[in-house]
Amino acid sequence: DIQMTQSPSSLSASVGDRVDLSCRASQNIARYLNWYQQKPGKAPKLLIYAASNLQSGVPSRFSGSGSGTHFTLTISSLQAEDFATYYCQQGLMTLSFGGGTKVE
Amino acid sequence: QVQLQESGPRLVKPPQTLSLTCTVSGASISTDSHYWNWIRQPAGKGLEWIGRIYTSGKTDYNPSLKSRVTMSIDTSNNEFSLRLTSVTAADTAVYYCARVTEDSTGWYESLDFWGQGILVTVSS
């Protein structure tokens, strides 16, 4: 099984901040990595697929980078609506998620 | 617009069987470029992938749940289902159904549409 580890588990930020969220895979997953945003009481929403591709309709302040075992989700200028929990998910084999990073 | 809707009992007694159905609208469930998933989330915790089913009926399950999970698909009614046997309080969670789609290259897949989720409580 491929284990996904996100860090930090939570972080405190302010509107306008640049935020970098980390996700590591226990083995090489190439670019089979997606990012999701989840707000309380809502289903997750796809932000980034294949490590760096912006899903249609997602603001350009979100970007993804990385390949292999280390990936980063960057929010270039945090907006009020971006306070949420973010999950990475690997899709190389059967799916698995990281534990999430809460941006507060 | 593609929509997924979970349905089923919201309270299940241990050690009975949890049964949920996901009804898909706005798209056919019978496409080779998609497959269909169940994911759950205990209160205050992260997401756990339960398993997936293809139109062909082929399934893959999370190894940690494999002995208790069965998924099925009903293409005539555009829905798919989850059965989880021998439930305990640890199975209390919000259960989501979600669609995986391929990107334009056909290489990469992501969960692009999700149901709203259904809270299932396991309690006697």
Q: In this predicted model, what pLDDT tens digit does every residue of A25-37 receive, in sequence order?
A: 999 999 999 999 9
Q: Which residues in chain B are contacts of A34 at CB distance < 8 A?
A: 110-111
Q: Which residues in chain A are contacts of B37 at CB distance < 8 A?
A: 95
Q: Which residues in chain B are contacts of A50 at CB distance < 8 A?
A: 103, 107-108, 110
**What is the rounded CA–CA span in Å between residue B109 and residue B102?**
4
Nearest partner of A98 among A42, A44, A41, A30, judged by Cα: A44
Residue of B103, B111, B113 to mutate, testing the A interface (most A Cβ within 10 Å of its Cβ): B111
Matching residue, tokens 């979600």 = B98
**What is the rounded CA–CA span in Å between residue B44 and residue B98?**
20
**Tens of each residue's pLDDT in chain B, 124 residues:** 999 999 999 999 999 999 999 999 999 999 888 999 999 999 999 999 999 999 999 999 999 999 999 999 999 999 999 999 999 999 999 999 999 998 888 888 999 999 999 999 999 9
Q: Quick one: CA dihedral B105, A101, A58, B32, positive or negative?
A: positive
Partner A contacted by B47 (CB < 8 A): yes
Q: Quick one: CA dihedral A43, B84, B80, B33, positive or negative?
A: positive
